[in-house]
Amino acid sequence: MNVSSNISSIQAHQTWMNTTANNVANVNSDRYVPTDTRVVGSENSVTANSRKVDDNGSKMSQTDLSKEMSDQIITQGATAVNVTAIRAQDEMLGSLLDTKA
């Protein structure tokens, strides 16, 4: 995995976290239909795909706080893993450049 893959993953997970935060912020908004985000990885990049969930016609917010909180835990962990990978790659490159011929 290269640094650009890690960066695209961090960006995708940030999009997911922003969507989740918006859903939580609107938990008390009447007739609010939350947005669902899925992170999809390909060979060289990671993207976030968002869509409104199906409206069930409820007069209350349709936000499921247990889902939103677990999504936030997942995005936090995924971001931490990618930051760790970037740091490791940076340290390895630094060690390589410090090597004297």
Q: Identify the burial level of 48 via C-beta atoms within 10 angstroms of its C-beta, where 0-12 means exposed, 13-18 middle and 19 or more buried.
A: buried
pLDDT at residue 2, as a whole number: 77
pLDDT band at 99 (very low <50, low <70, confident <90, very high): low
Domain ranges of the chain: 3-98
Q: Identify the burial level of 20 via C-beta atoms within 10 angstroms of its C-beta, where 0-12 means exposed, 13-18 middle and 19 or more buried.
A: buried
**What is the tens place of the pLDDT at every residue in 52-77?**
999 999 999 999 999 999 999 999 99
User: Whole-model pTM?
Assistant: 0.82
The average confidence (pLDDT) of the chain is: 90
Handedness of CA 25, 26, 28, 33 (dihedral sign): negative
